[in-house]
Chains A and B, each alone.
Chain A
Amino acid sequence: MTLIVENLSKSFGATSVFSNVSFSIEKGEIVCIKGKSGEGKTTLLRCLTTLETPDGGSIKINDRYLYKEDNGGIQTASKDNLQEIRQEIGLVFQSFNLFPHMNVLENLMLAPNFLNKRSKEDIEKRAEELLKQLGMEGKGDSYPYQLSGGQKQRVAIARACMLYPSILCFDEPTSALDEDTRGQISEIIRSLAGQDIAIIIVTHDNAFVDEIAERVITMSGGTIYES
């Protein structure tokens, strides 16, 4: 299993967002998490990507614990491990959050260059490859403000893929897209799944769920149902 979530719970102060959420995902699977707004879909995604720390339960990615249940509390992976496990799971934000002062190539290469695990040549080659794959060839020198919503999203996907993640999460990927670009994003997501990346999509767009999901998890009333 690529991702195993067990008994995960999260609350903000006295308000419980969700509790005892468990599910697992295999490599190459496309899983949609749907539910009305305010049901905690995005919070769940933020827990998976360490932007929020859950209150209880565990998250295991490729057999390594990101969070581990510990006497009713929760234990986060050690600093070195955290850094590595975090790279296994990428996130494409709803608003993309590209770095506006860097061009597309710089956006892509910033993190891998900082992490310094591969040579500069390899990193640049990977960036060019991803841009080609995503139909963004020749856009390396463009700045985010010069791109359309769909193009920004593809840059955000490429940026996440630069770290070779085994899981890629999408927060409301269709919210900024028109009909044409929606078709393109499903195609891209399927091809990523074809490369053995597990895909988690948080969305309330039912048409998109019908189009792309292999499995659907519904969040409602602080817990999840699988259908």
Chain B
Amino acid sequence: MKVFEMLIPMTIEGLKTTIGVFLVTLIFSIPLSIIVAKLRMSKNKAIANITGTYIYIMRGTPLLLQLMFIFFGFHFVPVIGFAFGRYQAIFIAFILNYTAYFAEIFRGGINSIDVGQVEASTVLGLSKTFTFMKVILPQVIKNVMPSIGNEVITLVKDTSLVYILGVADALKAAKSVSNTYSTFIPYIFIGFVYLVIIAFLTKILGNVEKRFSYYR
């Protein structure tokens, strides 16, 4: 059982990265994506188009490529003489990428709210910001929770892409141990670790959905 003597501490180390990237991405990209969704829907054509292009690039290229671009890319621009550190590059790439996906989900959610809600708010003298925060957004969150949950689960697994920048996450830990002992066991083990994390998240997401089920 020497395999596990090496595997368990390395997995725990790796999970710190996995969970760290997951949490930082989520905490920053969800609020940002609501702002991006609003900009995407702006009446100002220039703002809407720029936001649309950003979303197109983020969804149209692999996250792996984006990680490489943000980390290695600046080394090839000698004029700036500036480059991001590994973790900076990881956070920037993940946040930019996930913000784009979340923004499209929120845009759909905002569009799904009946225009009568805004009209009623207008006639009652509510300001636009207040209407968005108190009338529209709470209804949007209820509607988009299932789609957001999907992305959140994908995010857990996407964090394994950080290996490309030489950062060890949980999956990378399993790979190292597997190579050292020429055994497949670490992969099976790490598969279960992911399943446990996802089970836990599914439970949390379910609870959040339940919290919004008090009305129809």
Contacts and interface: CB of A to CB of B under 8 A. Distances in A.
Contact of A93 (B120, B125, B127, B139): B120
Interface in B93-146: 114, 116-117, 119-120, 122-127, 130, 134-135, 138-139, 142
The contact size tier of chain A is 20 to 34
A51 B139 contact: no
A51 B124 contact: no
B120 A99 contact: yes
A159 interface: yes
Interface stretch (A108-116, A125-133, A186-194): A108-116
Contacts of A160: 123-124
Residue of B117, B130, B135, B215 ringed by the most chain A CB atoms within 10 A? B215
Contact of A100 (B124, B125, B130, B139): B139
A83 B130 CA distance: 14
Contacts of A87: 125
B124 A110 contact: yes
A86 B216 CA distance: 30
Contacts of A54: none
Interface string A198-223: 00000000000000000000000000
A215 B111 CA distance: 40
A101 B126 contact: no
A174 B22 CA distance: 53
Contact of A145 (B134, B142, B215): B215
A98 B120 CA distance: 8
Nearest to B124: A111
A80 to B, nearest CB: 12
Q: Is the interface of B mostly helix, strand, loop or mixed?
A: helix
B119 A51 contact: yes
Contacts of B123: 49-51, 86, 90-91, 160
A183 B134 CA distance: 35
A145 B122 CA distance: 22
B76 interface: no
A185 B215 CA distance: 26
B116 A110 contact: no
A97 interface: yes
A153 to B, nearest CB: 13
A83 B124 contact: no
B82 interface: no
Nearest to B139: A101
A143 interface: yes
A51 B116 CA distance: 11
A163 interface: yes
A90 B126 CA distance: 13
Contacts of B119: 51, 93, 97
A195 interface: no
A160 B119 CA distance: 13
B134 A144 contact: no
Nearest to B117: A97
Given A101-B138, A101-B142, A111 B125 contact: yes
Given A97-B120, A100-B139, 17 more contacts: A50-B122, A51-B122, A83-B125, A91-B123, A93-B119, A95-B116, A97-B114, A97-B116, A99-B135, A100-B215, A101-B138, A110-B126, A110-B134, A110-B135, A114-B130, A143-B215, A159-B124
8 contacts: A93-B120, A97-B116, A101-B215, A111-B125, A114-B125, A144-B215, A145-B216, A160-B124
